[in-house]
């Protein structure tokens, strides 16, 4: 299973939350309360997103965080990489050539780059602004697809 880290998942939630009201300066405590993500985790992720130039930090009495740019210009890959680093599905895509005991005899190593690029391309194709849309009717609140309702004639 290919799975995002919890921090990357939370980062997308936090960025989406902030993008819902881009003109507002969002205090970390407010974000934590409204998203249900623990405050220490929110603070840690917000710091990472500021360092990645995705958020601006506002200090002072009415301080908090706001998007550095437009939600249309931020990709999900940008958010994930701000927290987890570069998208890398396997260790053999690492710069280090000593990352795998089977490096010298591996017949699939050359193909992972192509797969990794496809996944990264997919993440780059989704904009933060697209994450703000409501859940479609055919998907339940738990994220599982609901069966189509039957119509009786």
Q: Which range has the worst mean pLDDT, 30-39, 62-71, 103-112? A: 103-112
Rg value, the chain, Cα: 19
User: What domains appear along the chain, each with residue ranges and CATH number?
Assistant: 6-132 (1.10.10.10)
- pTM (whole model) above 0.95: no
Does position 144 have pLDDT exceeding 60, yes or no? no
What is the rounded distance in angstroms from the CA atom of residue 132 to the CA atom of residue 130? 5
Q: What angle do CA 69, 53, 13 make, to 5 degrees?
A: 75
Does position 140 have pLDDT exceeding 80, yes or no? no
Alpha carbon distances (Å) from 54 to 6, 45, 128: 19, 11, 11
pLDDT for the residue 133:
76
């Amino acid at each position: 299973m290919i799975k995002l880290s919890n921090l990357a998942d939370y980062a997308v939630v936090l960025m989406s939350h902030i993008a819902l009201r881009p003109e507002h300066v969002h205090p970390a405590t407010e974000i934590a309360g409204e998203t249900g993500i623990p405050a220490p985790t929110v603070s840690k992720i917000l710091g990472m997103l500021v360092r990645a130039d995705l958020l601006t930090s506002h200090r002072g009495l009415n301080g908090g965080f706001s998007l550095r740019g437009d939600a249309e210009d931020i990709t999900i890959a940008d958010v994930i990489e701000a927290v987890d680093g570069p998208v890398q599905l396997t260790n053999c895509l690492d710069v280090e050539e000593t990352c795998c005991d089977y490096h010298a005899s591996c017949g699939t190593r050359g193909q992972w780059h192509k797969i990794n690029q496809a996944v990264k391309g997919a993440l780059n194709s989704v904009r933060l602004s697209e994450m703000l849309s409501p859940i479609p009717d055919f998907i339940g609140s738990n994220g599982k697809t609901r069966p189509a309702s039957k119509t009786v004639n």
